[in-house]
Amino acid sequence: MGIDPLRSVAKEMKFMTGNIRQLLGSGHPMLDTVSKYYTQSEGKYIRPMLVLLMSQATAMTPKQSRLWARGAEDVDRPIAPATVLADSNPSSPLTAENVDNGEMLDSSVLPSQRRLAEITELIHTASLLHDDVIDDSVSRRGNDSANIAFGNKMAVLAGDFLLGRASVALARLRDPEVTELLATVIANLIEGEFMQLKNTVLDEKNPAWTDDTITYYLQKTYLKSASLISKSCRAAALLGDHSTEVVEAAYQYGKNLGLAFQLVDDMLDYTVSGVELGKPAGADLELGLATAPLLFAWKDNRELGVLVGRKFSEPGDVQKARSMVVASDGIEQTRALAQDYVDRAARAISPFPDSDAKAGLIDMIDASTRLRR
């Protein structure tokens, strides 16, 4: 029997989901509904779970006090609801009581780390709202995507609202280094998405495979997927006042896990049905995207360059590219690269003292490289 990665953070997660919904309360009923839409479906909460597990797993490693004091009292101070509309706001302000029930929650997780976990989920959900507009998605987590349910305008604005609320909660942590890290994550998400939209390494009209092809893809993957996971693991260790070595180990764990996670996601797009994914399978080629399985296939089959150049847009291109990828060892090479990152993530935290949380982090490597988003 494997370890349940949720076990050591189960109570924490229950409070976290309630807190996230409260952070998203708006007096405008429609904004309230759209903003909370993706919090109703069965998200996996991978990022907040990682922050909570990292907070617990690092709690018993050596401390290194930082030069300035963080106002713990500020973290618990109520965050006013976003609303400007009197009497119609369905949510109450965040208070110490409803953020955190000291008796029931794990004392090894600090209130600031708990709030960080919520912030990571808000940023992730904001990016999904925007991503579904950009990708013209029709479904997410087995339901209509927000752009379908409410239209592009409201989906984009709700994403912006989530970023605004995440920024308020981040500022309230009163930790400049953590604020800088998470603000950088937001910029990185957009840089990664831009790298995907406009590939500056390829001559897009006449692309040739070079050694930079995979490097560019991995850089884009770091920015789009691994930056949030790695920098929030780093921030969890910083909030715990841990040594430089522990902070760096937390970052390396998150970076390698994030890269493995996205490689597996890109691989599943070729290997798994839409029903299992909870979103249409094979979407990447339809969107004109050349991800790792195709890039590895292209290295051995330069004919694919023509299809890459026209973003699989001519009739039959998608099917042709798919069969060439399936016939190549591109999927296997992607799996092997993901495994390499998985091993690096496990090695990064191997010096941490043994604990349920450390076992949970190890299990999360396995779980999150299997699960859908």
Q: Where does this chain bind ligand FPP (CB under 6 A)?
A: 123, 126-127, 130-131, 134-135, 137, 159, 163, 186, 189-190, 193, 224-225, 279, 373
Q: Please, which residue, 109 or 146, has the CB nearer to ligand FPP?
A: 146
Which residue lies nearer to Mg ion by CB, 75 or 162?
162
Identity of the residue, 81 or 159, whose beta carbon is nearer to ligand FPP in the bound complex: 159
- For residue 330, the partner it binds in ligand FPP, Mg ion, none, with Cβ less than 5 to 8 A by kind, is none
Least distance in Å: CB of 217 to Mg ion?
14
8 A C-beta contact, residue 192 and residue 135: no
Minimum distance from residue 186 beta carbon to ligand FPP (Å) = 5
Shortest distance (Å) from residue 369 CB to Mg ion: 19
Q: Spell out the alpha helix ranges (H) of 26-110.
A: 29-40, 46-58, 72-76, 96-99
The residue among 147 and 328 lying less far from Mg ion, judged by its C-beta, is 147
> How many Cα neighbours within 13 Å face the side chain of 169?
31
Strand, coil or helix: what is 314? coil
Residue 225 interaction partner, one of ligand FPP, Mg ion, none, beta carbon < 5-8 Å per kind: ligand FPP
Per partner kind, with CB cut-offs from 5 to 8 A, the member of ligand FPP, Mg ion, none near residue 292 is none
Q: Which does 279 bind (CB under 5 to 8 A by kind): Mg ion, ligand FPP, none?
A: ligand FPP
Residue whose entry in the numeric block shows the structure tokens 């969107």: 287
Q: By C-alpha distance, which of 295, 311, 231 is closest to 263?
A: 295
Minimum distance, C-beta of residue 277 to Mg ion, in the bound complex (Å): 11
123 binds, among ligand FPP, Mg ion, none (CB under 5 to 8 A by kind): ligand FPP
With CA atoms as reference, report the closest residue to 259 among 213, 297, 284, 292.
Answer: 292
In order, the DSSP letters of 340-358 are HHHHHHHHHTTTSPP-HHH
Chain positions contacting Mg ion, by CB under 5 A: 131, 135
Rounded CA gap, 199 and 296, in Å?
Answer: 17
Closer to ligand FPP at the Cβ: 272 or 336? 272
* Shortest Å, Cβ 229 to ligand FPP: 10
Residue 177 host element (H or E): helix 176-197
* Residue 130 binds which of ligand FPP, Mg ion, none (CB < 5-8 A, kind-dependent): ligand FPP
Number of Cβ within a 10 Å radius of residue 335 = 18
Shorter beta-carbon distance to ligand FPP: residue 193 or 317: 193
Between CA 192 and CA 194, with CA 193 as vertex, the angle to 5 degrees is 90
What HEC string does 140-157 produce?
Answer: ECCEECHHHHHCHHHHHH
Least CB distance to Mg ion at residue 289 (A) = 8
In the complex, residue closest to Mg ion by CB = 135
Cβ proximity to ligand FPP, 185 vs 297, nearer residue = 185
**Shortest distance in whole angstroms from residue 340 CB to Mg ion:** 24
Q: Which is nearer to ligand FPP, 144 or 356 (CB)?
A: 144
CB of 92 to ligand FPP, least distance (A): 26
Query: Which among 237, 225, 260 has a CA at the least distance from the CA of 47?
Result: 225
C-alpha distances in angstroms, 157 versus 2, 35, 63, 154, 179? 41, 9, 41, 5, 23
Q: How far is the CB of 156 from ligand FPP (least distance, A)?
A: 9
| Cβ atoms of 246 and 328 closer than 8 Å | no
Between 76 and 131, name the residue whose CB sits nearer to ligand FPP: 131
Instruction: Give the integer Cα–Cα distance in Å for 257 and 226.
Output: 7
Report the b/e string of 133-147 with b at 16+ CB within 10 A: bebebeebbebebbb
127 binds, among Mg ion, ligand FPP, none (CB under 5 to 8 A by kind): ligand FPP
Secondary structure class of 242 (helix, strand, coil): strand
373 binds, among Mg ion, ligand FPP, none (CB under 5 to 8 A by kind): ligand FPP
